[in-house]
Amino acid sequence: MKFWRNPEFVRYVRAELRPARAVTAALVAEVVCVLVGLACWSAENEHPHMFFQTFYGWLVGIQYVVLGVWCASSCGQAICRERELKTYDFLRTTRLTAGELLVGKILGVPAMAYFVVACSLPVSVVCGILAGFPVRVVAETYVLLIAFALFFSLVALSASMLIEKTTAGMVGLLGLLSNALVLPFAKSPFPGFAAVSIFPALFSLHGLRQFDVARTTPTLVGIELPYFPLTLLLYVALGAWLVLMLVRNLKKDPEQIRLLSRWQAIGLVAFLNILFYALLNPKHLATSPAYDTITPGDLAGLAVVLNAALLFLVGIAILTSREKLTVWWRKWSSGMESYWSEFGLPWPWLVPAAGIAFLFLLGEALGMLHAFPLHNWEAGKAALQLLIFLVFTTRDILFLQWCVLTRMKRPVIKGFLFLWLYYAAAATTTMVVSLGSSAAGRHLVALLTPYGPYQQERPRLTSDLDVYLGMALGVVVIFFILMAITKRLQRAPTVPEAAAA
Q: Give residues in contact with other proteins (CB under 8 A).
A: 5, 7-8, 10-11, 14-15, 85-87, 89-97, 251-253, 256, 322-323, 326-327, 407, 491, 493-499, 501
Helix ranges restricted to H, 334-378: 350-367
Question: Which residues are 293's β-sheet partners?
Answer: 290
Please give the Cα distance from 343 to 360 (Å, whole number): 27
Residue 25 or 182 having the CB closest to other proteins: 25
Nearer to other proteins, 80 or 91 (CB): 91
Q: Bridge-partner residues for 224, per DSSP?
A: 219
Amino acid identity of residue 440, one-letter, is A
Q: Could you tell me the end-to-end alpha-carbon distance of the chain, in angstroms, rounded to an integer?
A: 53
Whole-angstrom distance, CA of residue 40 vs CA of residue 279: 39
The identity of residue 431, as a single letter, is M
Closest CB 322 distance from other proteins, rounded Å: 7
Are 412 and 432 in contact by the 8 Å Cβ rule? The answer is: no
CA 397 to chain centre: 19
Least Å from the CB of residue 410 to other proteins: 14
Residue 271: other Cβ atoms inside 10 A = 15
| Closest CB 498 distance from other proteins, rounded Å | 4
- The type of residue at 444 is L
Least distance to other proteins, CB of residue 501, Å = 8
Count of beta carbons in the 10 Å neighbourhood of residue 101: 23
Least distance to other proteins from the beta carbon of 408, Å?
Answer: 10
Distance CA 420, CA 310 (A): 17
Cα torsion 177, 179, 181, 186 to 10°: value is 180
CB of 487 to other proteins, least distance (A): 13
Which one, 94 or 462, has the nearer CB to other proteins?
A: 94
Cβ 32 to other proteins, closest distance in Å? 25
Complex with other proteins: residue 73 or 141, whichever CB lies closer: 73
Cβ closer to other proteins: 223 or 500? Answer: 500
Q: Are 271 and 360 in contact (CB under 8 A)?
A: no
Nearest to residue 230, comparing CAs of 209, 204, 201?
A: 201
- Residue (90 or 291) nearer to other proteins, CB: 90
How near is the Cβ of 318 to other proteins at its closest, in Å?
A: 18
Tell me the closest approach of the beta carbon of residue 108 to other proteins, in angstroms: 11
Helix (H, G, I), strand (E, B) or coil at 96: coil
Provide φ and ψ at 336, rounded to 5°.
-95, -10
